[in-house]
Structure 1
Amino acid sequence: MVTSILEKKYFITLSVFFIFLVTIIFIGYKFIYIPYKETAKVLEFFSKGYTLQGIYELRYPLSPEFYDAIKKFKSYVDVNEMISATKRQAQYLALQNQINPHFLYNSLEGIRGEAISAGLNSLAEMTEALATFFRYIISNMEHLVTLEDELESIENYFMIHCIIKCNR
């Protein structure tokens, strides 16, 4: 009878220890191993260049410091992307601003040449005044100009309107 009681105590102790061990293993698996594997997988994909988005959405960061580092990294990437996009836009606008005035000047010079060859001197003068006026406006948008340059621009503008009114 004494052995039976000892066996029951031993069995109960062994059962409690086994349940405790299974619980510890389950908790370790659920809250340590699975988060570690998921984070490691996302970081592996990121290091191979497959994804950038998933790195910001880690469900289980390894530590608060790691999470803060990821947030800081995201802010750097966002700033760099914004700077890159802004730089590309500025380059595009600079190129567009170079092309448009040249196209305008070349077109006006072509019209002026046709007017001269057709003997339309007033049209040639008006086209030249218009080209000079546009060149002045476009090239001096951000700079201070002399009073002489401003008066010359006003004369070109006035000449355009005089030629238009005189030919009516």
Structure 2
Amino acid sequence: MSDIRYIPRYPVEARKDPAVAPAPWDVDRADWPGAAEVLSGAEARILCAVLLCLCPHDWLGDGPYRLATLRIDAAASASAGDALLVRELIGAVEEAAGGKFGDLDFDARTDILRGLEETPGFRRVLALTIRHLYDDPVVWAGCGYEGVVGCHPDAVRDNNNDLDWLPDAESLIRGAI
């Protein structure tokens, strides 16, 4: 079971199914925005600043937000509609901030985002943020979620049957029931 990734974090240790491939990006590098396929480096940094306002957690470092940014970029590379909406929001926040969204404090950024919350771009970025930020074992652990059942080395992964009220599948196949 050496392929299971352990992410130690208070209050629990979260595990992700080892069958799921890890993210291909190193978000701890200073040049992480360069990994974006659709967004420019500047756009990726702005989007990351948006994510920090949409789902603020003081116990969470920048890594999960950067990873979610690159996952949203990957979604945008797979969908022209997503790319359009993500860029629409980035353009709107930059316009509202006079081209300095990344330099504003949290409250000023949040005020700008509140003014855009009815736009399609905001709604799509919020949905993508929730999907991609909260699908991270680091975030799971900080929220107290231990991860997928069966991913702990001591847990039984196969033959997990807690639906004992259902008839046995083999009996159904044989027509015994």
Kindly name which structure, 1 or 2, has the bigger radius of gyration based on alpha carbons: 1
The structure with more helix, counted as a fraction of residues = 1
Q: Normalising by structure 1, what TM-score? A: 0.21
- Larger RCO (CA within 8 A; separation ≥ 6): 2
